[in-house]
Structure 1
Amino acid sequence: MALVHPTHPLTTTSSPDPYALPPSFPSSISSPLAWTGADLADESYIYHLTPSDLSEIKDALAVFKSHNLNGDLATPTTFPLPTLGPKLRLLSHELYNGRGVCLIRGLTPEMYEPEEGMVVFMGVQSYMAGGKGRQDGRGNMIVHITPSEYDAKHSRHSMDSLPFHTEATGDILAWQTRAAAAEGGKCIVSSAYTAYNLLAATCPEVIHTLAKPDWPFAYPTLHYRPILYHTSPNLL
């Protein structure tokens, strides 16, 4: 039996359906970014540097060195690539508006001394994205992924495999492979858009959890926000 005050009508409340997607989140996202491994089987995401490209990179390095600048100041102005540069801009467009992944092949470690190789890397990537993100509290823009028994607690120096993850900052993650591991060492990429579409169709409650504004983030100071955002047409 329930007692109801005669002057107050009975009201009911309801909680959001955990099996319905949160507001503003679509049931699926149609985008070139929603790819599977089969879509990359033709290797169209790979750009092979031509002999002309390599010659232009060598000339650009000579120009950069003539300015006596630090490597982080390699830009399209200080590292000029008049012919290759527009090709790299197209690859950048593919990163932001296409499949979001590309691979450039043709530079080998023996072509340059280690420091020169890093300058070339910074110079080439300056055509892909305008800014460079900090990798640590000291402001380093590049970190080396190498095994270390003294700092194995950090994933970049550990021999253990890593689970799938995203980087905390930056739009684009750039890798320079200098040598292959004797064993293992595979790098696997996946589409966040494809993962979203699968979760939205089969486990929408996970989307609810990821979209809650209660996830702790440590940088720049402790704060809380969602892990997942959707601002049409982008998934963030």
Structure 2
Amino acid sequence: IVIANGCQDGTVEEVRRFRDERLDLRVFEQKLGVDVPRAVGAKIAYEYRSQGVLFVDGDMTGNFTGVLLQLMERITDGWDMALLNCYPVIPYRPRDSLSQLITYFRAKLNRKLNLFDKLGIASPSHGPHALSRRLLETVPFRELAVPPVSLVLARQAGLQIGVAAGIPHRELQSKTGDARHWELTAQTIIGDCLEALCLLEGKPRSRLCHGVEMLGYHPERNWELLQAFLDSYRS
């Protein structure tokens, strides 16, 4: 399943050159926004009656097939959320840097979930991961577009969550982008963690951190387009 959204780089043409009847290409002229394609892909996989779904971002060009197989194996074994640990050693960053804030909030969320001993700072926000059909039946598809929230909902439902494999972040060979892209990405992840913490604590969802709203790419998430897609299965 390939979710091409707002692509202007030849992705659609390249995918169409593959001759495989299993390939399902869905093209959205508008951008769906960060992480929203996961919700779309998960819904498609669910309607295929798949027993699980494996997410891989299109800009990851590393050679990590073995890791993907480990993720799928854990779902076959009965796990519901199989994560990748991209930081086996928690990195040190200067205090108050965005990198340090990401580490802090990911660790805080996992501790609040009583999962830190199992996950460290692993998160569905980072790297390929796999979900079971049971999770897709439990967590609303919309919430898969805010990955830390899906983690909280899975934990609250008593689903089995763990780290299936580890790989250094650099080996994913993700697209790096410029400093502004990194800043917006960091703010997105931090804001997502803040929303998840609010949900866990029974508070209204908020992205505020010391009076600063951590938006990042969050405003670009196209909720209307996602909802229209999900609703199309009800007609």
Q: What interval of TM-score do these two structures reach, taking the shorter chain for normalisation?
A: under 0.3
- What TM-score comes out, normalization by structure 2 length? 0.23
Larger Rg: 1
Structure with higher strand content = 2
- What TM-score comes out, normalization by structure 1 length? 0.23
Structure with higher helix content = 2
